[in-house]
Structure 1
Amino acid sequence: MDFRLKVFHTVANRLNFTKAATELYISQPAVSKHIQELEETYKIKLFERNGSKIALTEAGEILLKHTKDIFEIYREIDFALSSFSNNRQGLLRLGASTTISQYIISPVLARFHQKQQDIKVNLMNGNTEQIENALINKEIEIGIVEGQTKNQSIKYIPFLKDELVLVCNSKNPSAAKNEISLEDLKAMKFITRERGSGTLEVIEYALKQINVKISDLQIEMQLGSTESIKSYLLNSDCFAFMSIHAVGNELKNNELIVLDVENLVIERYFFIITLLGKSDPLSELFIQNISSYYNLKL
């Protein structure tokens, strides 16, 4: 039954029998057989099938909720009992928004693995909105995000301070300016992150404080990752507000340059997020590790 629930859980999350079979290392007919046996056990359909597409029925949604709870309990049992043998084991599902996953979290994960080699960490990447949704849906235990949407079911723990700076190609004619005026901003062409990005939300809020709307700017393109924005800047005369953590190498190599903007400083915190009222020893262990790495008192 446990394995059948695992098959169901995988199919329900992927909504694709072929992808579920690949992830579980079993054949597609085996996946179909396990789902069929579950439906026969409960005498109810768990999926609606429409050609090659599938969707959860109401009963399937209920079973998925309980399945997530069951696997969460198993995960906590594995970690709690392994602690008695001084050989901690378990699975930690971590989510990080783009800037953090690319420039902040890797050294922490490396040190964590050195200390806890039998704890497996799965890292999910996405924008802030996607990571928060994954946390709410119990697809991850901890998230680290760039924005704070103040969702009432989420606990936000300030983590690292960051600054968003205006950058452009060092060969851009505007690179010689001492300071960019607000009117200059409105004449520039910008590359921004997509909707749902914590970075974009912080930029919008900061501009609003100086009576500039994001719609006042000339947005040439929205791109889904920090790396793609940097690459675009290196091949154009566009501008972007980016985390200082993300452009360190490019500034050092004089490929990009930071421009001061009149009356504008954009600072923010990265946040560790967990479900409000939900805590488990493995998540706490990781939070302790990340805080000690950066010498923080969380």
Structure 2
Amino acid sequence: MQRRLRSLFISQPRPPQNLTEEWRKIPWGNKDRDLLFVSGYQPHNDELNQQRILLYGPTGSGKSSFINSVDSVLQGRVTVRAAADAISQESFTKKFRTYKIQKGGPGTFYPFAFTDIMGIEKDTNKGARVEDIKLAMSGHIKDGYNFNPVSKISEDDHKYNKIPTLNDHVHVLVCVVSATTSNILSAESVAKMREVRLAARDMGIPQLAILTKIDEACPEVNADIKNVYRSKYLKKRMEELNVALGIPLNCIFPVKNYHFEIDTDDDIDTLILSALRQIIYSGEDFVNNL
């Protein structure tokens, strides 16, 4: 089983790929529709101030960059609030931190927030512990907690939340995986991610996945991002992720994060908004079903 999982995620050379007909429709040139939806969204549950969206995944997959990219789309300018790193082989994120996104004037925020955590690593005493991620999903970890790869948070820790409210709970779990460095997904990492997924299932938390760095993974997408849903290479990567973790294909969204651009781009925004819209839908359904 482990050998089969490893074989799924060994990096392969990325020669030009033949394109096929578009296998998922997306409204290119109509990002205003999704922007209008996001701007007008309000939770129907009066007890909920904002959806909490927890990102998890291997080190270097682009979790922090995705938060920055969503912020960039909604601000209309490229932002870098969540610290990201392109050099370190270990998780650059060390603390449990939630990012609210400003809407309009100071002190006004969108009714959803992203929680960033330390990346998952294959070694036993490295990266975020699965036990901590489970506690985070049930609202027991406060912002600012410094992850300890060796041991989970103690109930005596001042960052342990003994009585979580609905707003402290995670309402959507999002797995973030890079399309380029997917060899990071060793059998050990996949096993940890699968354990997180099963725990979220038991809590009833909806789950989606984001496939990042699609421009680096596929030359045709690098040439024109509108080729994303015509790329056989990316479709294969999504199918591999579906097999390894069990996340349905219609819950996996390929995106390009902002990383070298200094201005936003409508086509990049369209993919990010498409994923964000489904994340919000999922969280809203979960909260309404409680």
Provide the TM-score with structure 2 as the length reference: 0.22
Provide the TM-score with structure 1 as the length reference: 0.22
Greater relative contact order (CA < 8 Å, ≥ 6 in sequence): 2
Q: Which structure carries more helix by proportion?
A: 1
Q: Which structure carries more strand by proportion?
A: 1
Bigger Rg over Cα? 1
